[in-house]
Amino acid sequence: MTRTSGANGGGGGGGGQSGKLPRKRFYRARAHSNPLSDSHFPIPISPDDFDLSQHYPRYYPADKGERGDEEVEAPLIRFADVGCGFGGLLVGLSPLFPDKLMIGMELRDKVTEYVKERVLALRASNPGQYDNISVVRTNSMKYIPNYFRKAQLSKMFFLFPDPHFKEKNHRRRVISMQLLDEYAFVMGVGGIIYTITDVEELGVWMRSCLEKHPLFEAVPEEEIEVDPVVKLLSTATEEGQKVARNGGQTFQAIFRRISLQDE
């Protein structure tokens, strides 16, 4: 069952089942959206109402008999890319973690449609691959608990989020003490939050929030150096590639979900 007040926007430019990648120029949108505004798209009432058959048909076929062994439990989503943009990180992560289901969460309708078409095209041209990634149009600042159960996620990504420079708009930032409470709820102990930005002030802000929160601690530098995910933070996305082309600097904060005795 879903709560809904409208429908997803459409797109164009081909792609999808044909195996041809969609063209971004047909899906361009504003760089950022207001996360506090009321948008219109379906929202699951609870994680159990999130229809995964639309996203991962290989693992959740519409006809459940197609899976064969009914005793085999389908995997849960373990990675979430919040504000996934055009899906570059998902595409980069998919072959690195082929046994992990991942989802991108994006507020802009045209961008979401582009990622859907991109994933379908990749699946069509690479049979057996990219079945573990998908995208959903949603507002992650409002509805994270509607999609994920307690302790379900092992990785969350926040790559080049909107800096919301004006102080009055800091409440719109996707990393805050209040939102970290929600992220901590859906993350399992040992799970990792990855953040990166090219705005120093925002980088300081995100690191400060994570350092202050009792359920997160910084991942040691020696672990970061051998984590295969870290390189993708600055190379896999359109934003990261743009920063690199312009010789810009980036600021990372990578923290682990920890446990408290009284939790």
Helical residues (DSSP H) of 79-135, grouped into ranges: 88-93, 109-125
Contact 160, 251 (CB under 8 A): no
pLDDT at 16: 60
Evaluate whether 115 touches 106 at the Cβ level (below 8 Å): yes
Q: What angle do CA 16, 19, 24 make, to 5 degrees?
A: 60
* Residue 198 among the catalytic residues: no
Q: From the candidates 81, 109, 131, 162, which is the catalytic residue?
A: 162
pLDDT for 13 beyond 60: no
Does residue 3 carry a pLDDT above 50? no
What whole-number distance in Å separates Cα of residue 81 and Cα of residue 37? 21
Contacts for 221 with CB less than 8 Å, ≥ 6 apart: none
How far apart CA 190 and CA 82 sit, in angstroms, is 19
DSSP structure string for 29-75: --S---TTS-----EESSGGG--GGGT-TTTS-SSGGGG--TTSPPP
Q: Could you tell me the strand order of the sheet in which 187-197 lies? A: 133-137, 101-106, 77-82, 153-159, 187-197, 251-257, 216-218
* Residue 17 or 256, more confident: 256
Q: Is the pLDDT of residue 51 over 50?
A: yes
Please write the tens of the pLDDT for every residue from 230-246.
999 999 999 999 999 99
CB 180 within 8 A of CB 216: yes
The one-letter amino acid at 128: G
What are the backbone dihedrals phi and psi of residue 30, each rounded to the nearest 5 degrees, phi first? Answer: -55, 150
Q: Does the reported pTM lie above 0.75? A: yes
Identify any residues that bridge with 253 across adjacent strands, giving them in sequence order: 195
Residues 6+ apart with CB under 8 A from 164: 170, 172, 173
